[in-house]
Structure 1
Amino acid sequence: MTIDHTLLGDLEWRGLIAHSTDLDALREAFTAGSVRFYVGFDPTAPSLHMGHLVQILTAKRLQEAGHTPYALVGGATGMIGDPKEAGERVMNSVETVGEWVGRVRRQIEPFLSFEGDNAATMVNNLDWTAPMSAIDFLRDIGKHFPVNRMLARDVVRSRLEAGISYTEFSYVLLQSMDYLELHRQHGVTLQFGGSDQWGNLTAGVELIRRTEGNKVHAIATPLMTKSDGTKYGKTEGGALWLDPEMLSPYAFHQFWLNVEDEKIGELLRVFTFLPRAEIEALETRHAEKPFLREGQKTLADEVTTLVHGADETEQAKAAAAALFGGGELTGLSATTLAAALREAGSIQVAATDELPTVVDLLVETGLAKSKGEARRTVTEGGAYLNNVRVEDAEARPTTDDLVGGYWLVLRRGKKNFSGVQVG
């Protein structure tokens, strides 16, 4: 088998192309010179998440290969939102969307270079949408969209029975106009996004063909799912946010440490910049000795460093080691310690002259079901306060035991721990 070492070959090997318009034509364009491409992000929340990270890293790959990125943060489309199968989106205020535009831009900027021959450009579709009148929009854009094709889109078809507003129904026109505007203003000839956006991507390609007579490209990356086909998330209902205020670097690192063995190869390809030979060798070692969790550890370190930086990665690793008894709790930053304990589960008790006993705290934190069980745990040597074995069942922590000024760390055995916030 011949290995394609080109950019497109690497994207295909990494599993980053789920759909495409014309791969042969795109391959020719990639080899002919720097292709101007764009990827869009709608600020429908105050932070981007794991799904957006696929697009950000793909843009980074293309730029590092010499192509020119246009990162679009949708101040206009963010006020509407792409139709969801679950139902109508909540309309956020202009002020809220404007604030989120700034937050999303700041999350994208560190991943791209804004200097050099193929410097990235950040754009906002509100700049060309706001000045346009409704009549101009309907005449210049709406005229090119047959309603029967719009009705055939999967998400629209699934929403027809329950109802879909004209606002969300028309979202595809706005996104297609983005491609047209960037093509006209900047010579952009490639758009990519998630496979759930494929209908929007191809609609933009078709709009440019109809209005300009030009052939442009689109590719879609696959949606990331667990082995059972469900979406990834911090919890069943929560997203894996990139904003450290919404999901701590510790929790972010822990997420990647706990992915299924079956997904390691796929996730290493998509979310890291490790070379092919290194990933394939790691996959082999992981398959032979999965209990060492080398794949998960490498994945967690690489992705956390990309998103939050090397210092936060080391803090997350130190926190995990310390909480499981393998390191010093006093060496952790107060922020990391608090985030880790809140993630693991914690309780709060009042700061009084006499704190509850260790036995009482074991019960209150849920580490023991009853005081009798808690006392047996202490007697058998399985109870720890701040990684120090508790010898006396009547032991009572004092303020001198507080780590980071506010915390006690209780552990039962090797793996079960909880935090107690005092104050």
Structure 2
Amino acid sequence: MNVYEVLKERGFIEQITHEEEVIKLLNDEKVKFYIGFDPTADSLHVGHFIQVIVMMHMQRAGHIPIALIGGGTAKVGDPSGKTDMRKMLTNETIESNGERMLNQMRKYITLDGEKGIPANNADWLDNLNYVSFLREIGSKFNVNRMLAAECFKQRMETGLSFLEFNYMIMQGYDFLELNRRYDCKMQLGGNDQWSNIIAGVNLCRKADQKEVYGLTFKLLTTSAGIKMGKTEKGAVWIDPEKTSPYEMFQYFRNVDDADVENCLALLTFLPMDEVRRLGALEGAEINKAKEILAFEFTKLVHGEEEANKALEATKALFAGGGASANVPTSEMDKALFEEGKELLEVMVELGLLKSKGEGKRLVKQNGISLNDKKVQDPFFKMTLADFEDNKAMIKKGKKVYHQVELV
């Protein structure tokens, strides 16, 4: 099966510039393609990982990914889908973030300069001559068409800076530069990048008369169209120091029933017959499908050992087994609990609550437990008597567990 058909069957593909030509190209050649990642954080998150999985599918089919770090474009900021201008990062932070992202990607795709190519657009964007760039590249862009692009529409109401207005031109220039340097013939990206990808395809065709193509794949969203990959603590990160394998497992163990099949298709390499079988399960049986989803994705990101630990911890907790070494754990000073410390205050410090007010509402709803006992008093204080072997288990709602260990 052509890799395009694989991606289409699994539900990745949203829009494409020239479908027949792309299918023929992917059949006939080892195609160099690129996906860009602006290093605005020091780790990839689950939303990025859809793109990493696409690169994995493409590389397994013999095609050559170019993992482009946006060391130059990150200094401008992509306005796509944003209501405000992105925070400006220092050059040092951008460079450090980019290196960390590439190192993460190397776990999943080969980036040896042949089977896969690492690149950074700071190499050609940082030292451009402004007037020369305007003459060669700016002359190929129609401002009326740019302003009509979806990526600018939301910002036109709140104010689009000239800095951000240049982002589309810069991303289009990336495609031209990668085509000239590596004979890159395709740009892939999330569906929010369609306008920018079209700009790159058109620039390559106008500037060098090169036949190049663009393709977007779906963003990771719920069946209601809401972006997935966010928890109360923030994004679900690939870095285990930012999101533990257990927390990642729990996130996908608790997705809505309607989202299971889509997540299995996009985030695992299970055969589609199995994906459809699992997605069709109903009632209590769908929980088994969720467990498989959580295990397969955690295994893909962190390896089988960590996935097994997360699975064992989940089974122990849901079976009422109490504390487990694989549950998120925070160490706290024993002296804090000698006189007693309010449980809600502890939960705020651990990031389990945004505020004590939220905690008080949850207490009224029987939504907080300590060591498997419902907490009825919003001012309840944890003391040393609540710790067994220096450990206590806090539970928020039905799904969030956190162990406190005294030191």
Q: Tell me the CA shift for residue 248 of structure 1.
A: 1.4
- The question of 1:351 aligning with 2:345 is answered no
- The question of 1:298 aligning with 2:328 is answered no
The count of aligned residue pairs is 383
Aligned residue number for residue 269 of structure 1: 265
CA distance in 2, matches of 1:412, 1:22: 50
- 1:111-167 CA-partner distances (Å, limit 9, x unpaired): 112459x61110001111123211222122111111111111123232223211111
Aligned residue number for residue 419 of structure 1: 403
Aligned residue number for residue 323 of structure 1: 317
2:403 alignment partner, SS class? strand
1:160 alignment partner, SS class? helix
Aligned residue number for residue 388 of structure 1: none
CA distance in 1, matches of 2:153, 2:169: 17
Aligned residue number for residue 72 of structure 2: 76
- The question of 1:314 aligning with 2:314 is answered no
Q: Is the 8 A contact 1:179 1:191 kept in 2?
A: yes
- Provide TM-score, normalisation by structure 2: 0.84
Aligned residue number for residue 221 of structure 2: 225
Q: Tell me the CA shift for residue 74 of structure 1.
A: 0.9
Q: Tell me the CA shift for residue 421 of structure 1.
A: 3.7
Gaps of 5+ in 2: 348-358, 375-382
- 1:195-250 CA-partner distances (Å, limit 9, x unpaired): 00000001000000001111111100112221222221332682222121221111
CA distance in 1, matches of 2:42, 2:397: 39
1:204-243 to 2 correspondence within 5 Å?
204-235=200-231, 238-243=234-239
CA distance in 1, matches of 2:285, 2:220: 24
Aligned residue number for residue 143 of structure 1: 139
Aligned residue number for residue 13 of structure 2: 17
- 1:309-362 CA-partner distances (Å, limit 9, x unpaired): 1121122122223334555846x2xxx43xx256xxxx95633896869xx979
Q: Tell me the CA shift for residue 263 of structure 1.
A: 1.1
- 1:64-103 CA-partner distances (Å, limit 9, x unpaired): 0111111101110111110143111111111111111111
Letter in 2 for 1:174: M
CA distance in 2, matches of 1:40, 1:246: 22
Q: Tell me the CA shift for residue 410 of structure 1.
A: 5.8
Aligned residue number for residue 277 of structure 2: 281
- The question of 1:100 aligning with 2:84 is answered no
Between 168-177 and 309-318, the greater mean CA deviation after superposition:
309-318
Gaps of 5+ in 1: 385-394
Structure 2 vs 1, CA of residues 164 and 354 (structure 1 numbering), >3 Å: closer, same or farther? closer
- Provide TM-score, normalisation by structure 1: 0.81
Aligned residue number for residue 88 of structure 2: 91
Question: Bigger radius of gyration, 1 or 2?
Answer: 1
- The question of 1:401 aligning with 2:401 is answered no
- The question of 1:27 aligning with 2:23 is answered yes
Letter in 1 for 2:392: L
Aligned residue number for residue 113 of structure 1: 110
Structure 2 vs 1, CA of residues 417 and 216 (structure 1 numbering), >3 Å: closer, same or farther? closer
1:124-139 to 2 correspondence within 5 Å?
124-139=120-135
CA distance in 2, matches of 1:178, 1:25: 22
Q: Tell me the CA shift for residue 6 of structure 1.
A: 2.2
Q: Is the 8 A contact 1:261 1:290 kept in 2?
A: no
Between 149-158 and 161-170, the greater mean CA deviation after superposition:
149-158
CA distance in 2, matches of 1:78, 1:135: 22
Between 140-149 and 107-116, the greater mean CA deviation after superposition:
107-116
Structure 2 vs 1, CA of residues 233 and 352 (structure 1 numbering), >3 Å: closer, same or farther? closer
Q: Tell me the CA shift for residue 105 of structure 1.
A: 0.9
